[in-house]
Amino acid sequence: MYAGKSVSVVLPAYNEEQYIRAAVDDFAATGVVDEIIVVDNNSRDRTAEEARLTVARVVEERAQGYGHALRRGLREATGDVIIMAEPDGTFIGRDVLKLLAYSDDFDMVCGTRTTRELVWEQANMGWFLRIGNWVVAKMLQLLHDGPSLSDCGCTLRLTHRKALDRFQAELTVGGSHFLPEMVILALRKKLAIIEVPVNYRGRVGESKITGSLKGTLRTGFRMIVLILRYRLS
Ligand SMILES: Nc1nc2c(ncn2[C@@H]2O[C@H](COP(=O)(O)OP(=O)(O)OP(=O)(O)O)[C@@H](O)[C@H]2O)c(=O)[nH]1
Ligand SMILES: [Mg+2]
């Protein structure tokens, strides 16, 4: 509970057997989290088995994809506030307190990983990714009349259930370019959004999206098309 509100954490997981238990324990250790949902997305390793050894509720999402996994988690979450994160060691459990600190004043609180001082040495956030995330975020900000945005790809973010209810049914993206759609739909509902800097560490286990240049470019391109398409519609 945080300020009288129940808190859910959603962890999308595709082959994350190496860190899933540590991730659940780390978020649980904050003392403010009431519910942790692991969305197992057809993992071929022991992700689901490992997750069942923790306090998390494990749900199986068959539709493959980062967006599908997160949308399922958002549907399953019962908290007054819902925090999305990743179970790969890149995010720190205690950073949920940074998001919660702003949750009294904002409908959605998004982490940003482009603050250099918080990007750890081993993190997959070289200049290309940092600038790329920043450029696409600025494009979203300018074309959709948003608040100051500096990272279009940070999974760590908080949304109030009441705010989510206003646009959840309109979410369509199942792939890795899911995050900007949430922000665009929220802005269209005139919801209040702010970004806060969060830690970004090196990953445990194999990277699936931005670990390769090809994956990064594909995701970036899809995000740009999405941002333009919503602008023109
Ligand atoms: N790529 C991908 N990720 C999925 C899928 N389903 C769930 N996920 C989870 O979504 C999160 C994002 O994938 P990552 O491989 O961490 O991609 P990333 O965060 O861009 O890059 P790194 O953390 O630097 O490797 C992870 O927690 C995955 O386990 C899926 O179908 N594809
Ligand atoms: Mg990751």
Instruction: Specify the pLDDT at position 114.
Output: 87
Asked, for residue 138, whether it belongs to a domain, the answer is yes
Q: Which of 155, 201, 209, 218 to mutate for ligand 1's pocket (most ligand atoms within 8 Å of CB)?
A: 209
Q: What is the mean pLDDT of the chain?
A: 97
Contact 19, 204 (CB under 8 A): yes
pLDDT confidence of 212, banded at 50, 70, 90?
Answer: confident
- Tell me the angle at which helices 127-143 and 179-188 cross, rounded to the nearest 10 degrees: 20
Distance 89 CA to ligand 2 centre (A): 8
Percent of the chain whose pLDDT exceeds 90 = 92
* SS3 at position 230: helix
Closest CA to 66 of 91, 39, 44, 48: 39
pLDDT confidence of 71, banded at 50, 70, 90?
Answer: very high
CA atoms within 13 A on the CB side of 217: 3
User: Any idea which residue has 């998390």 for tokens?
Assistant: 56
How far is CA 102 from its chain centroid? 17
Let me know how long the chain is: 233
Asked, for residue 145, whether it belongs to a domain, the answer is yes
Which residues have a beta carbon within 5 Å of ligand 2, which is an ion? 86, 88, 90
> What is the position in ligand 1's atom list of the atom closest to the CA of 211?
25
Asked, for residue 16, whether it belongs to a domain, the answer is yes
> What is the position in ligand 1's atom list of the atom closest to the CA of 11?
27
Domain count, the chain: 1
Separation of alpha carbons 144 and 142, rounded Å: 6
> What is the position in ligand 1's atom list of the atom closest to the CA of 14?
29
Separation of alpha carbons 84 and 159, rounded Å: 9
Asked, for residue 182, whether it belongs to a domain, the answer is yes
For the segment 202-211, the average pLDDT, to the nearest whole number, is 88
Give me the DSSP letters along 106-148.
-SEEEEE---GGGB-TTSS--HHHHHHHHHHHHHHHHHTT-S-
User: Is the pLDDT reported for residue 73 higher than 90?
Assistant: yes
CB contact burial 68-100 (16+ within 10 A = b; e otherwise): bbbbbbbbbbebbbbbbbbbbbbbbbebbebbb
User: Any idea which residue has 């539709």 for tokens?
Assistant: 63
Distance 67 CA to ligand 1 centre (A): 10
Instruction: Specify the pLDDT at position 218.
Output: 95
Q: Which of 9, 14, 216 to mutate for ligand 1's pocket (most ligand atoms within 8 Å of CB)?
A: 14
Separation of alpha carbons 7 and 64, rounded Å: 26
Asked, for residue 2, whether it belongs to a domain, the answer is no
Asked, for residue 148, whether it belongs to a domain, the answer is yes
Instruction: Specify the pLDDT at position 231.
Output: 97
Q: What residues are paired with 200 via a beta bridge?
A: 119
Sign of torsion over alpha carbons 220, 148, 99, 73? negative
CATH number at residue 21: 3.90.550.10
For β-strands 108-112 and 157-160, DSSP reports them as antiparallel
Residue closest via CA to ligand 1's atom 4 equals 66
Contact 48, 40 (CB under 8 A): yes
Q: Which amino acids bring their CB within 6 angstroms of ligand 1? A: 12-14, 16, 41, 64-66, 69, 86-88, 90, 124, 176, 203, 207-211
pLDDT digits 0-9 by tens, 77-105: 999 999 999 999 999 999 999 999 999 99
Q: Which of 45, 50, 66, 151 to mutate for ligand 1's pocket (most ligand atoms within 8 Å of CB)?
A: 66
Asked, for residue 64, whether it belongs to a domain, the answer is yes
Instruction: Specify the pLDDT at position 208.
Output: 84
Structure tokens at 211: 């670990």
**Domain of residue 193, residue span:** 7-232
Asked, for residue 1, whether it belongs to a domain, the answer is no
pLDDT digits 0-9 by tens, 120-149: 999 999 889 999 999 999 999 999 999 999
